[in-house]
Amino acid sequence: MRRMSWVLAMILCVTVVFAGCGKKDAASVVKGLNNVADTLQSKEGSYKGTGKMTLYTGEKPQEYNIEVWYQNPSYYRISLTNAQKDVTQIVLRNDDGVFVLTPSLNKSFRFKSDWPENQGQVYLYQTLVQGILSDNTRQFASDKDSYVFDVAANYHSQSLVRQKIWLSKDNYAPKQVQVSDGEAHVMVEVKFSEFKFDAKFDKDSFDMKRNMTVQGDGDPTLGTVMQVDENGNPISADDQQTDGSTAAAPKELGDFGMIVPVYMPEGVDSKDTNKMENSASHTVLLRYDGTYQYTIMESRSQDMAVSSLASGTVVDLGFTSGLLTGDEQKTLTWMNDEGIEFRITSANLPVDEMTKIAVSLQEQTGK
């Protein structure tokens, strides 16, 4: 009887030990994430992910189908397709700089930046891993299929405070991200339907001209568009298409009216509006005064290469990326999916407020 009890006790102990071997704590998962991050920095480091992003930062939720490509050392391609408008914008980084492309309008927006090295994006794997590794007060949990981390948010907006990140137990691939404000309201949510490490790309997958033509499946296919020189300025028709092909003609873009943001910071009122008559780019100026003083300029050029700007900081607006330039007087510049370029300029308006204004402009149509 004693022998039988001893055998059962041994079996129970072995079972408990082996059951514990299958579980990982936060420290072991963090160690695994460090290894994955090191692999991404290696010569063959790459990934490709697809999913859906929902923004709850405006009056109503905005949904975007997303596709994220990365290839070492610093090639990125993020495709954001507005689910309501079925219009795609592409944020691209290659050896020539950072581009925001709207293929359906043949519009390119180019600037110099080290993005995304110092600016996080919720759909970039490196940003999520860095958020986990840098938070020593991280909270860890485990469900059936995922490791779940609750950590501080490290994004440009001060209103985004916490983020909850679900990682696959199989390979630490991201499955879901929820970013919340100070009152625990989810403001941004990303759900990945597929994520693959060691992805293979064509030689010109991150080429600007190739990405200016996008098919319905989200993959870029070769196309011909107006080229830009090293300064981002359009090259004349006489200087391009030497192969005899014909450049894609831009869509006719007319007057868009006047787009008025629904959000204004507390203590701010509209000062005046001015629509510049006979402007080829349909330029509109909106001025605001009060607690902060700022100007919004709206325009829509017929040129394919809309802007080429100096170096600055890339600001994630959710629906696209903008560029922040200037020191004492700052300007936030971006282009929406209808080819309209916006500039918010101010000497005292905080960047977080600029971002909120930009989001409210995205939801409006011209009047």
Confidence at residue 217, expressed as pLDDT on a 0 to 100 scale:
43
Confidence at residue 42, expressed as pLDDT on a 0 to 100 scale:
87
Could you tell me which residues come within 8 angstroms of residue 78 by beta carbon, excluding any fewer than 6 positions away?
A: 66, 67, 68, 69, 90, 91, 92, 121, 123, 124
Residue 347: how many CB atoms within 10 A of its CB?
A: 12
Residue 65's identity, in one-letter code, is N
Phi/psi at 154 (5° precision): -125, 50
Residue 157: how many CB atoms within 10 A of its CB?
A: 21
CB of 194 closer than 8 Å to CB of 355: no
Confidence at residue 134, expressed as pLDDT on a 0 to 100 scale:
92
Confidence at residue 305, expressed as pLDDT on a 0 to 100 scale:
54
Tracing tokens 């090639």 back to the chain, one arrives at 75
> pTM for the complete prediction?
0.79
Pairing state between β 146-152 and 62-71: unpaired
Residue 98's identity, in one-letter code, is V
Confidence at residue 225, expressed as pLDDT on a 0 to 100 scale:
36
In angstroms, the CA 290 to CA 113 distance is 33
Could you tell me which residues come within 8 angstroms of residue 66 by beta carbon, excluding any fewer than 6 positions away?
A: 49, 50, 51, 52, 53, 78, 79, 80, 81, 123, 190
pLDDT in tens, the chain (367 residues): 455 454 444 444 433 333 444 568 889 999 999 999 999 988 889 999 999 999 998 778 999 999 999 999 999 999 999 878 888 999 999 998 889 898 888 888 888 888 887 777 899 999 999 999 999 999 999 998 999 999 999 887 888 999 999 999 999 999 999 999 999 999 999 999 999 999 999 999 999 999 987 544 444 433 333 343 333 344 443 444 433 333 444 455 667 889 999 999 999 999 999 988 777 778 999 999 999 999 999 998 766 554 555 678 888 888 888 889 888 899 999 988 888 889 999 999 999 999 999 999 987 766 6
Confidence at residue 113, expressed as pLDDT on a 0 to 100 scale:
82
Confidence at residue 40, expressed as pLDDT on a 0 to 100 scale:
92
Pairing state between β 107-111 and 305-309: parallel
Q: Which domains does the chain have, with CATH numbers?
A: 26-197 (2.50.20.10), 268-363 (3.40.1000.20)
CB of 301 closer than 8 Å to CB of 281: yes
DSSP class per residue in 222-239? ------B-TTSPBPPGGG
